Structures are given as structure tokens and as C-alpha cells.
Amino acid sequence: MGSKLSWILVFLILIPTGECKRIAGEGCTSQDLMGLTRFKAAIHVDTSGRLETWVGRHCCKWDGVYCNNRTGRVSEIRLPGFLSTDDFIAQTQMEGWLSPSITLLGSLEVLDLGGLISLAGTIPSSIGFHLPKLRKLYLYSNNLTGPVPLSIGKLSRLEEIHLHENLLTGSIPASIGILQNLNRLLLYSNRLSGPIPESITNLTNLVSLDLHGNSLTGHIPVKIGALQVLKELDLSDNLLGGKLPLSVTNLTAILVLYLDTNLLEGEIPFPSISGEMPSLGFLRLNDNHLTGRIPSNIGNLVSLRRMSLANNRLEGPIPSTLGNVLSVTEIYLDKNRLSGQIPNSIGRLSQLMHLSISNNLIEGPLPSEMSSLHYLQELDLSFNALNLSSIPKWLGRMPSLCRVFLAGAGIQGNFPELLRTTPSPLLELDLSFNHLTGIIPEWLGSLTQLYSLNLSRNSLVSKIPSTVRSLCDLGVLDLHSNKLSGPIDVVFQIESRFSEGSLSYIDLSDNHFSGKIEQIGTGPQSKIGFLNLSHNYLISRLPGSIGKLVSMRSLDLSYNKLGFGLPESLANVSSLEKLKLQRNRFTGEIPNGFLKLRALKELDLSDNLLVGRIPDGEPISDFPRSSFSGNRGLCGKPLSPC
């Protein structure tokens, strides 16, 4: 790995930068030289090799150093950790400290050390007194500690502050509000605390403000609606957590406001008037403690594309003015206390692709206007007070809908036939916690693109139809707590489109399944990580092929009628963290090989017919007595000596 990286870097370094950084004369000023030399001295490992070129007096020729060709002073340091060209990408490292001597470079306009993930130290507290020309400060994705210095407010030419993804503490200095030229303020994923200074509402050129992933408290600045500019948004970083839909391709003229995962409280104070924040494109206020209603002026945010207000304490209705936000593609309002009905006006949101309002107090019926949401792919209305009785017919005809989450929606009767012929193949279906009765239909097998199926907590009574074998993309199958019966083996025969199976999560617990487990581990190379077959009537032995489920982390077969010896091969499932086999009829000794299950954190073998000495050693004999109780024949630590 190391040698491959340096090989890549040889090529990178040989690529001409194409930038003119020549400078005549006898070299750099001694002040610039001292600043750079001390910077280099504080770095003890540089996997990019760039600092090796830092010798002599002609610092303007050094890698990553750029000078003003009039004054000869160093104007830019560009040493980003992540290097990419059309042909190569590489993450390089500089281990060491950010030297405070960087402040000797008095003509510096750009400081880019972004992505050097091992660069430790603090942002020099005097930075504001010494770098008056600084326009761009890129110290993101480093390992910097300490505060954002107060003196930053003196850097009046600053246009961009990228300090995200560090370990910065303290509060955001109010002095930032003086930086009239600032258009990007990215402080996300740090440990900043205290309030958001009201002074940031002074930053009228701000295009992007991202403070998410801190511990900020207090209210959202009342006048934040005064921030209203159009500018380009650079999304080269993982700003949106990788969730940006592919269809959002025009990202010019978008203002980002991220304030999530803090603990902000109070009401959403914007937009207070029509015409405020006309270019706001992405709004994330999720995971806070915001209260009050969703402002009805929200309809004035005409550029809004993606909005999350999820996981707050918002109450009252969803304002019908939301129907004016015509360019919105994603709305997340889950986990609030919103009530009333979904407004009819929602049908006007012709670009909407994702709508999530789960875990609120929304009442039914659903407005039929929703049927005109032609681009809607994902609809999550789980756990509201919908009391739908049945899924509305129009829902089965929505042209793009492929992810449907209607758990706890009061749906009654048979498995909805209208899902058989949806225009877009279903990928995810959650009808758990409803009142479905009758059978799981054979035609389920025709939903061949299904990835996730959750029918748990209903009153379904059939066998698992043999057609499920053709669900070759199925990854998650949750049928727990129904009255399903018959054999379960068909689940382990699910064909896969790939050499490795897709199935990773299977919960068939708390049903009336019976018969033997024979086909387990015989299918395609298994990815099953979670398997729960507990509380059924499964009989006979556990086949040795179970040892082929090498990705398994949680196995629960408790409360069945399984018997015979515990298969030795289970010892091969080294990723196993939970093993629950209690309340069965297993006989024989606990295989000594179980000592290989080093990842095991929970073990329950109680109430079986096991005998002999408990394997002596970690992790097995460290479990409490209750893990082994109810087996008359067992002895040794933690039970009484043999």
C-alpha cells in the first residue's frame, strides 16, 4: 500500500502545474523563508514528498508555494492532503504540528492545508494581526484543537473560512460578523459550543453557512433571513453526507444553511417576510430542539430544493404554503409533533422525489392530489395517526414510487393487491405494524427488484411462498410477529444475481414456523449478518453448514425445539457478537472451538440439555451463570467446578 502510494505520487509530482510562479532576484524575504522553514520543521512526516523541494532561498519555486510576481512575497500556500488529477487520486499525510510561525508570511492570501488529517496543533491566536491579506483559509479535515481565534475578525479580506472536520472547541467568535467579504463559512463537524452569534446575520455576502455537527445551543439568529445571495456552491466535499440525489445537477445559485445535530432551540425565525432568502436551496435544521410551528412563510423560499426539519419538536400543521416551494425535491419532516392532514397543495410539488413525515401525529385521509407527484420515489408516512384502513388506489399508480413506508398506518385486510402492478418496480416496502390478515401472496415473487421487505407485526397466516426464491436482490426480510407457518428453508434458497448473496438481515421470529433448518449456508456466499428465528417451532439438528454464514454478527434461535449437539462449525463464525440458543433441546458438550468466538459479547445457552465442562477461557467462561443455567449437566466456570 505504502509503496503503491509513493509510486502514484512520483507521477503526481512530475505533472507540471502550469502555473507561473517564477520570480527573479535573489530569493525570498527572510521573513517568508523563516515562516516556511519553521512550518516545515514542525512536520516530521510528509508522505507527499512536497516538502523535500523546500530547500534553498528561492521559496517561490518550492512545491505548493506561490508568490506575488510583483512583490516577490509568498501569497499562497497550497498543500492539500488530497491530490487528484484526471489519472490519479491520492490521500497524502503530513504528521506534525501547524507551526504558529505561519503568521510570519505577512502577504499570504491563501492558506490551503485542507485534508492533511494528521496535522495537529491550533490555529495561531494572533492570525488576525499578521495576515491582513488573507482571503482563503482552508484548514479543514485536519486534527486541529483549540478555539477559532477571536482575532479572525481582523482578517477583513477573508472570503472563505473552511475549518470543518477538526476538533475545534469554544464558541464561534462574534467578531466573524465583521467579515463583510465572507461568502463561505464552514465550521461543521467540530466541537464548537455556545450560541450562533447574531453578528453572522451581518454577513450579507454569505453563500454557504455550514455549522452542522457541533454542540451549538441557543436560538437561530432572528435576522438570519437577511442572508440572501446567489452564488455557486462547491459540492466536492461530502457536505450532504452523500445523499444528494443525482437529479440535482444544477447547483449554481444555491445557498446552503446547515445547522443540524446541534441543540438549537426556539422557533424557526425565517423567512419573516416574502422575498427573504430567495436563493436558499438546501435547508437542514434537523436534529435540534426547535419548537413552534413550521413558519407559513416557508412558501416564500422559492429556490428550496432539499429541506430537513426532522427530529425536532415542531408542532401544528404542515403549512399549505409548502405547496409554493415548487422546486423542492426532498422534504424530511420526520420525528416531530406535526398534526392535522397533509395539505392538498402538496400535489403542486411536481419535482418532489422524497417525502418523509414519519413519526408525527398526521391524520388521514391522504389527499388524492398527492397522485400528481409524478417524480415521487420515496414516501415515508410511517407511525402517524393516519388510520388509513387501506392504501389509496392512486398510490399504486404513481409512476416513480418505488420506496413505500407505511408502517403503523392502520392498514387492514389482505396484502394490498395494488402493489402487484406498480409502474415503478418496488425496491423497499414497509407495511409493518398494521392489521394485515390473510396470506403473503405468491405474486410477491414477481417483485424481483425488491431490496427490503418489512411485514412484521401483522396477522399474516400463510407459508412463505416458494416464489420468494426469485427475489434475487433481497437484502432485508423482516416478517417477525405474524402467524406465519410452514418451513423456512425457502429463505435460504433465495437466488442471487451475484456470487455473493444480497441477504443480510432476516427476522422470522415470533411466528409459527416449523420443520427443520436444512438449507442454511447452502446458498450463495452469505452476507447474512442478522438472523433471528426465535419463538417458532423449529425442530431437529442445526446443520454444520451454519458455519458458512461467516458474516453473521447476531444469531438468535432461542425458544424453538432444536436438538442434538451444537455444531462445531459455529466456531468458524468469528464475527459473531450475539449468540442466543436458550430454550431449546441441545444436547452434548459446548464445543471447545467456541473459544475462537472472540467477538462474542452476548451468549445465552440456558435451558437446554447440555452437559460437560464449559470451555475454560475467554470469552466463554467470562459470561455470567445465567448464560448457562438450566442445563443440568454443565459444570466449570462460571458454574460450580466439575
Q: Please report, as ranges, the residues that interact with ligand NAG according to CB under 6 A.
A: 68-70, 117-118, 120, 143, 177-178, 180, 199, 202, 250, 252-253, 387, 389, 407, 410, 432-433, 454, 456-457, 476, 478, 480-481, 505, 509-510, 532, 534-535, 544, 547, 554, 556, 568-569, 572, 578, 580
Query: Which one, 250 or 626, has the nearer CB to ligand NAG?
Result: 250
| Shortest separation between residue 11's beta carbon and ligand NAG, angstroms | 25
| DSSP H or E stretch at residue 524 | none
| Shortest separation between residue 292's beta carbon and ligand NAG, angstroms | 26
Query: Which one, 240 or 639, has the nearer CB to ligand NAG?
Result: 240
What are the CA-CA distances from residue 184 to residues 88, 200, 207, 229, 257 (Å)?
Answer: 28, 12, 6, 11, 11
Instruction: Give CA–CA dist 164/234, Å, rounded.
Output: 14
| Shortest separation between residue 46's beta carbon and ligand NAG, angstroms | 14
Query: Which one, 373 or 531, has the nearer CB to ligand NAG?
Result: 531
What are the CA-CA distances from residue 238 to residues 188, 235, 350, 552 (Å)?
Answer: 11, 7, 27, 30
| Shortest separation between residue 132's beta carbon and ligand NAG, angstroms | 17
In the structure grid, which three cell numbers stand for residue 310, read together?
426532522
Query: Which one, 120 or 472, has the nearer CB to ligand NAG?
Result: 120
DSSP strand pairing (428-430 vs 435-438) = unpaired
598: number of Cβ within 10 Å:
10
Query: Which one, 202 or 377, has the nearer CB to ligand NAG?
Result: 202
Contact 51/37 with Cβ under 8 angstroms? no
| Shortest separation between residue 510's beta carbon and ligand NAG, angstroms | 4
Residues facing 331 on adjacent strands = 307, 355
610: number of Cβ within 10 Å:
24
Closest CA to 427 of 445, 406, 404: 404
Query: Which one, 260 or 510, has the nearer CB to ligand NAG?
Result: 510
Query: Which one, 580 or 637, has the nearer CB to ligand NAG?
Result: 580
Scored b (16 or more CB within 10 A) or e, 202-229 reads: bbeebbbbbbbbbebbebbbeebbbbeb
Instruction: Give CA–CA dist 65/23, Å, rounded.
Output: 12
Determine whether 44 is exposed, middle or buried from the number of CB atoms within 10 Å of its CB (0-12, 13-18, 19+): exposed
| Shortest separation between residue 266's beta carbon and ligand NAG, angstroms | 20
Query: Which one, 268 or 571, has the nearer CB to ligand NAG?
Result: 571
| Shortest separation between residue 544's beta carbon and ligand NAG, angstroms | 6
Query: Which one, 36 or 290, has the nearer CB to ligand NAG?
Result: 36
Query: Which one, 345 or 359, has the nearer CB to ligand NAG?
Result: 359
| Shortest separation between residue 346's beta carbon and ligand NAG, angstroms | 22
Determine whether 541 is exposed, middle or buried from the number of CB atoms within 10 Å of its CB (0-12, 13-18, 19+): middle
Q: Where are the alpha helices (DSSP H) in 156-237?
A: none
| Three-class SS state of 154 | helix
Contact 444/468 with Cβ under 8 angstroms? yes
| Shortest separation between residue 73's beta carbon and ligand NAG, angstroms | 11
Contact 81/116 with Cβ under 8 angstroms? yes
| Shortest separation between residue 251's beta carbon and ligand NAG, angstroms | 8
